[in-house]
């Protein structure tokens, strides 16, 4: 409908869709939402999502990129490197060089590419220390997009993402509403008309209780999220170990069921 008949998403947990959960425990995410927009109800629109949580940049380039290059879809979205640069001592410049190699290969194959820079973590206690590394990485990504003719979804300047409600409790992944807005922004960058405005302000509300006691919140977050992450790093383990991509084949896109009928709806359907 808009010049895209096929789409492959490659990346890590951000593109897999954590934590935009579906009733069956799987994840929807901005990429599935974007695919639904691009499909426009067409049964012949094809979509694959090869992304997997915990994947490092080298894994994405070695495992996912070759599939995209072989299948040559009308669009590839690529967001990667975030898991690399948050590791203490990581060389952001080296990560950027590897990322550019992937973008260059996709563009040389004639595949349109949509990339994403890192979001601003200023509102997130503790995680705000990453702002400098993310900003450096983002500067490189903008240069890569310009050099290779890729389009950029600028997460850093998306004002709705500067609200804590855009983030999950783990302070790494976005909320379902943030995923919805990122999908709308992505479609806008691609020039695809959408219903809805990602710029719409969040409703006014009192500060959520989970953010009132920041010290207690930080302690809980450290125990539940940070320490397990450190242990996985020390063991060379990943959140994605033993898991497979949710949409490994470039196949006709069928959106998953989004809601479980409530009791009233269920009774009406049964009558």
With 0.85 as the threshold, say if the pTM is over it.
yes
Predicted local distance difference test score (pLDDT) of residue 269: 34
Which 3-state string (H, E, C) describes 71-99?
Answer: HCCCEEEEECCHHHHCCCCCCHHHHHHHH
Longest pairwise C-alpha distance within the chain: 63
Ramachandran angles phi, psi of 62, nearest 5°:
-85, -30
Torsion of CA 171, 172, 178, 183, to 10 degrees: 170
Question: From the CA atom positions of the chain, what is the Rg in Å?
Answer: 19
Measured distance CA(239)–CA(193) in Å, rounded: 35
Q: What is the pLDDT of residue 170?
A: 87
Output the tens digit of pLDDT for each of the chain's 271 residues: 468 999 999 999 999 999 999 998 899 999 999 999 999 999 999 999 999 999 999 999 999 999 999 999 999 999 999 999 988 899 999 999 999 999 999 999 999 999 999 999 998 877 788 899 999 999 999 999 999 999 999 999 999 999 999 999 888 899 999 999 999 999 999 999 999 999 999 998 765 545 444 656 766 655 565 556 666 766 776 776 789 999 999 999 988 755 544 433 333 333 2
In this prediction, residue 110 carries a pLDDT of 98
DSSP letter for 214, please: H
Q: Looking at domain 6-200+212-270, which of 3.50.50.60, 3.30.565.10, 3.40.50.1110, 3.30.70.270 is its CATH number? A: 3.40.50.1110
- The confidence score (pLDDT) of residue 123 equals 85
Distance CA 89, CA 105 (A): 28
């Amino acid at each position: 409908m808009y010049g895209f008949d096929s789409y492959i998403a490659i990346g890590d947990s951000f593109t897999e869709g954590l934590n935009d959960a579906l009733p069956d425990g799987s994840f929807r995410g901005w990429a599935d939402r974007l695919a639904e927009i691009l499909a426009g109800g067409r049964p012949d629109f094809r979509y694959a999502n090869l992304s997997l949580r915990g994947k490092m940049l080298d894994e994405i380039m070695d495992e996912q990129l070759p599939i995209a290059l072989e299948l040559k879809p009308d669009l590839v979205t690529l967001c990667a490197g975030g898991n690399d640069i948050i590791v203490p001592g990581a060389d952001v410049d080296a990560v950027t060089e590897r990322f550019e190699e992937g973008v260059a290969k996709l563009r040389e194959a004639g595949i349109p590419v949509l990339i994403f820079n890192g979001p601003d973590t200023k509102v997130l206690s503790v995680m705000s220390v990453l702002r400098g590394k993310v900003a450096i990485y983002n500067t490189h990504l903008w240069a890569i997009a310009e050099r290779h003719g890729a389009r950029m979804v600028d997460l850093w300047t998306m004002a709705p993402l500067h609200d804590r409600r855009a983030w999950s409790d783990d302070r790494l992944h976005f909320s379902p509403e943030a995923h919805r807005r990122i999908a709308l922004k992505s479609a806008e960058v691609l020039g695809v008309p959408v219903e809805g405005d990602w710029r719409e302000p969040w409703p006014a509300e009192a500060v959520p209780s989970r953010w009132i006691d920041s010290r207690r919140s930080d302690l809980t977050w450290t125990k539940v999220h940070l320490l397990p992450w450190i242990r996985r790093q020390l063991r060379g383990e990943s959140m994605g170990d033993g898991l497979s991509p949710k949409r490994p084949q470039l196949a006709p896109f069928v959106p998953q069921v989004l809601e479980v009928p409530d009791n009233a709806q269920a009774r009406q359907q049964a009558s």
